[in-house]
């Protein structure tokens, strides 16, 4: 008898065992673990079994694709292994609270689109948008990029009060 009767028939009308998920009467029921509970299920509901082997052809293909595309790092890494990574080489300087508005206004006054400014500075449009929306830190914008932007648009984005003397 299923824990929850979902069939339209009278539950007492048959003595055949029934799937505890869908209520289908079947003689070839299997025990499955579903959401941590051990239940008796039919072949159709066995696909919900948490412990069954999930190594289907599609799953194998997906793992293979992830393995080949996910390891897309090729080339010589000896430079990084020998010298390490210096994240302080080009840090983002402290910027004014309203740097995003200042950058956007300066670009618009220069008559440039985000795309044109990106081309002029040899950066991505995404970087320009990140600066103009106040997400320079999250986007990993470099100090050099900020310097080039300030020079190109004749705008001051750095907070001079935090500049060491």
CA distance 19 to 21: 5
Yes or no: say if 16 and 26 are a contact pair by the CB < 8 Å rule. yes
Which position has the higher pLDDT, 71 or 110?
Answer: 110
Is 14's pLDDT higher than 70? no
Tens digit of each residue's pLDDT (9 = 90 or more) over 49-66 = 776 555 555 655 665 555
Please state the separation of Cα 125 from the chain's center in Å.
20
Domain annotation covers residue 85? no
Domain that holds residue 13: 1-51
| Distance in angstroms (rounded) separating the CA atoms of residues 115 and 98 | 22
Quote the number of domains for the chain. Answer: 2
In this structure, is residue 69 part of a structural domain? no
**CATH at 142:** 1.10.260.40
Residue 70 belongs to a domain: no
More confident residue, 163 or 154: 154
The answer as to whether 37 is a domain residue is yes
Kindly state whether residue 146 falls inside one of the protein's structural domains.
yes
Choice between 19 and 10, residue whose per-residue pLDDT is larger: 19
Question: Which residue has tokens 């673990």?
Answer: 33
Residue 94 lies in a domain: no
* pTM summary value: 0.46
Instruction: Please give the share of the chain, as a percent, with pLDDT higher than 90.
Output: 30
Residue 67 included in any domain: no
DSSP conformation class of 91: P
């Amino acid at each position: 008898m299923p824990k929850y009767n979902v069939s339209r028939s009278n539950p007492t009308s048959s003595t055949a065992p029934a799937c505890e998920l869908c209520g289908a009467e079947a003689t070839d029921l299997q025990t499955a673990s579903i959401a941590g509970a051990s239940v008796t299920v039919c072949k159709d509901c066995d696909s919900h079994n948490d412990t069954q082997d999930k190594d289907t052809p599609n799953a194998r293909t997906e793992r293979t694709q992830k393995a080949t595309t996910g390891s897309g790092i090729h080339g010589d890494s000896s430079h990084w292994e020998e010298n390490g990574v210096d994240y302080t080489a080009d840090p983002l300087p402290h910027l004014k609270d309203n740097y995003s508005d200042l950058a956007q206004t300066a670009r618009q006054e220069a008559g440039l689109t985000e795309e044109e400014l990106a081309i002029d500075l040899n950066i991505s449009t995404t970087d320009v948008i990140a600066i103009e929306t106040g997400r320079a830190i999250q986007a990993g914008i470099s100090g050099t990029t900020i310097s080039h932007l300030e020079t190109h648009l004749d705008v001051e984005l750095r907070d001079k009060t935090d500049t060491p003397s």
